[in-house]
Amino acid sequence: MFAYRQLVIGLAGLVWLAFAAGSAGAADEVMLKLGKEQFNENCAVCHQEDAIGKPGFAPSLTNPELLSISSDKYFMATIRDGRAETGMMPFAHLGRKNVRAIVSFLRSHAKGPNKAEEIDAQPDAHGDPRLGKQWYDNICSTCHGLSGDGYDAGGTGTAIGLPGFLNKVSDGFIRETIKKGRSNTRMLAFQGPTGLANLSDQEIDDIIVYLRSLPKS
């Protein structure tokens, strides 16, 4: 009798787990559908279908490097607040649910694990902003503009020198981006034998310190 009761309880547990898994899967599908709808309605006009972006106009949001180092908090804050002094307007009016749904839609394009927590835990950069400016002017300004204004300066790169970006990213985020680049975009890697320039860790930190030293307005 005891064994029978245990069997019944075990089967009931399995049924509940299957139901819960099915409900979670259905909820995920609903969220993705909502996210795609919201993206197409509010974001695709600039970031293009499937968020592949357009050089000199809007960045790609679906390349694997960005998705692997970006936290949900980063995406949600960017969508909510926009980027002052750029064409990225705030979308706080969409509400938390719709913003979260857009992030879920972007996440559906990921091809690997999310390393945002690990990346953001990297130590702050320490270096010489004067040397960082030299590297920035010689390498980065071509795309991102002499003052980091991005598209407004006529470049194909984003505005990495403005508070709207710098206030939302960790030094690890910037460091990883410079090292690895962004596949399927014009942001190439700048470390290693295949990099456009084989910058050392210290040279990269010098650039980060320089970016952090730029005027806040």
- Do 54 and 137 sit in the same domain of this protein? no
Domain coverage including residue 141: 116-213
Distances (CA, A) of 180 to 62, 139, 197, 198: 15, 15, 11, 11
For the segment 128-145, the average pLDDT, to the nearest whole number, is 96
- Do 61 and 134 sit in the same domain of this protein? no
pLDDT of residue 129: 98
For the segment 107-126, the average pLDDT, to the nearest whole number, is 96
At residue 79, what is the residue type?
A: I
Residue percentage of the chain with pLDDT more than 70: 87
Q: Which of 107, 137, 170 is the last residue of a domain?
A: 107
Is residue 6 pLDDT above 70, yes or no?
A: no
- Do 126 and 81 sit in the same domain of this protein? no
> What burial letters (b/e) apply to 92-107, b meaning 16+ CB within 10 Å?
eebeeebbbbbbbbbb
Q: Which of 52, 85, 107 is the last residue of a domain?
A: 107
Q: What is the pTM of this model?
A: 0.85
pLDDT of residue 165: 97
- Do 126 and 64 sit in the same domain of this protein? no
- Do 33 and 123 sit in the same domain of this protein? no
Total domain count, the chain? 2
- Do 120 and 200 sit in the same domain of this protein? yes
Question: Considering the chain, what is the average pLDDT of its residues?
Answer: 89
